[in-house]
Structure 1
């Protein structure tokens, strides 16, 4: 049995080569709205049920539909106000179900990265070839509807396999959001040997984890975002860090929750030495300027 997944090297924080962000920023800050589509009655997967209740799962389906009908526009207006271009974790079926949302995001030059096809269809139980087809389908769909292939990938409902990252790299991707091991980008091992990185995507700051799993109140969630930023901002003075806020348009955009999120964005973007950016831009900058130094430092650590 493997001691670890083998996707990245153990690499302690102390003594790493310095990461410098554009403009001398301490923190690369990005917001990742998960814009998803959940099927009311998806094909059954023996490894995981899509809904906790028997069909029809009307409550779960309808609150997610609320996100695409109401919450998305509400969140978009807030991000516009603070000059933030979203990096969309996209269920690519949305391109067919709600093309108007895709158009709105494209007009704002938001990033689109793949979150699978439906968030009710999982990687669990798929053969490698079946997963390859799913990933390629999502890549092709995003390119068809936006004119650009996605650079990043987050497995649908975090249901990745031991082949997921290799398959996305082979489809032309350059970064993953499926690893939660660091506050900086790090090199990732993929079997085709290409340059590939992990861009920090925080489950701790994820609104669904906060509200549904940890039962955090909106005011407390807003303070958590500020506290998280403060620590990364402090450490980023010595070595550049990354902060990500993953959101869901049916969570953070509910009327009673939005104010806390908006206040946190105002606080974070009120600092001049913060690079407000996208996941793709973080990955590209790291690959161009820091990837080689990181690989060399890891090799030296290993003797």
Structure 2
């Protein structure tokens, strides 16, 4: 696979120079939490397991992640229900086969379902153009059949994209993607099929997996990061609108000691509910897409 080194998907724009707009209720900080619900194929590398370099059949990593769907997810579900905070559910289509029961309480609550590939054991960048197109169509079809409506948002497994992914997203009816984290505001992203919204997603920072696994942050460190980021962005939102986003994984944050930490974070944010818009990435995309042309930067 070859890549074009000329990049023209979006241009430079300094955030202080942009038009200022409000979110619903005159608020300037939109807040959402994304929960990754994933399924893996046994024998294919699911990723790090905190101990040593994994090797086939990767049973430790597989079992560790299976814990998330068997146990951890239910702790997370109860906590978000307790604080009445919606979720963006980032889901592999294979979850409908592996453990469909885990999606029931989120569906009943009206949480947003976001496409996340077929399985977290494969990456789009490793696929041929034909394989990726077939995979995406399969995912859209499965989610539509199970949920009664197609997904509006997409995050690739491993946050992976091929050179054709943005065009495929448009062809399959997606309104926004979470794969590109280069801003604190949604922006328009150029594709050969017309623009698509890039909604901020914490792929590098407020994402529990790279924080705990790659950067070796402690549980308390991550809690401090979440609260400090929220507080700073809330203060800065007097200048211009922003999105606070946090990403959680069932097998990491679903551990009992981390649920204690997450409760502190949700209590802190819920106490400021009147000052922020607590929502989902799909609702953020819907709101900014309806703003007057030229309000949201992009090609």
Task: Compute the displacement of 1:17 (Å).
Answer: 0.5
* Alignment RMSD: 1.6
TM-score, length of structure 1 as denominator length: 0.91
Match of 2:29 in 1: 27
Supply the distance in 1 between the matched residues of 2:80 and 2:230 (Cα, whole angstroms): 17
Change (3 A) 1:291 1:177: farther
Gaps in structure 2 of 5+ consecutive residues: 48-52
Does structure 2 retain, via aligned residues, the 8 Å contact 1:24–1:273? no
Does structure 2 retain, via aligned residues, the 8 Å contact 1:23–1:273? no
Task: Compute the displacement of 1:240 (Å).
Answer: 1.1
TM-score, length of structure 2 as denominator length: 0.92
Match of 1:66 in 2: 67
1:225 aligns with 2:226: yes
1:258 alignment partner, SS class: helix
Match of 2:9 in 1: 7
Which deviates more from structure 2 when the two are superposed, residues 60-69 or residues 11-20?
A: 11-20
Match of 1:200 in 2: 200
Task: Compute the displacement of 1:153 (Å).
Answer: 0.7
1:73 alignment partner, SS class: helix
Match of 2:78 in 1: 77
Gaps in structure 1 of 5+ consecutive residues: 43-48
Counterparts of 1:36-75 in structure 2, within 5 Å, are: 36-42=38-44, 50=46, 52-75=53-76
1:14 alignment partner, SS class: helix
Supply the distance in 2 between the matched residues of 1:212 and 1:54 (Cα, whole angstroms): 17
Supply the distance in 2 between the matched residues of 1:63 and 1:100 (Cα, whole angstroms): 19
Match of 2:279 in 1: 277
Change (3 A) 1:291 1:221: farther
Supply the distance in 2 between the matched residues of 1:5 and 1:281 (Cα, whole angstroms): 29
Supply the distance in 1 between the matched residues of 2:65 and 2:6 (Cα, whole angstroms): 35
Match of 2:50 in 1: none
1:294 alignment partner, SS class: coil
Supply the distance in 1 between the matched residues of 2:7 and 2:117 (Cα, whole angstroms): 22
Change (3 A) 1:290 1:178: farther
Supply the distance in 2 between the matched residues of 1:291 and 1:173 (Cα, whole angstroms): 20
Supply the distance in 2 between the matched residues of 1:28 and 1:240 (Cα, whole angstroms): 8
Does structure 1 retain, via aligned residues, the 8 Å contact 2:34–2:89? yes
Q: Return structure 1 stretches of 4+ with deviation > 6 angstroms.
A: none
Q: Deviations over 1:26-46 (max 9, x none)?
A: 21100100000011124xxxx
Match of 2:210 in 1: 209
Task: Compute the displacement of 1:55 (Å).
Answer: 2.2
Q: Deviations over 1:53-73 (max 9, x none)?
A: 332211100110000000111
Q: How many residues align?
A: 290
Does structure 1 retain, via aligned residues, the 8 Å contact 2:154–2:178? yes
Supply the distance in 1 between the matched residues of 2:231 and 2:293 (Cα, whole angstroms): 26
Q: Deviations over 1:103-134 (max 9, x none)?
A: 22110101111110100011133121211111
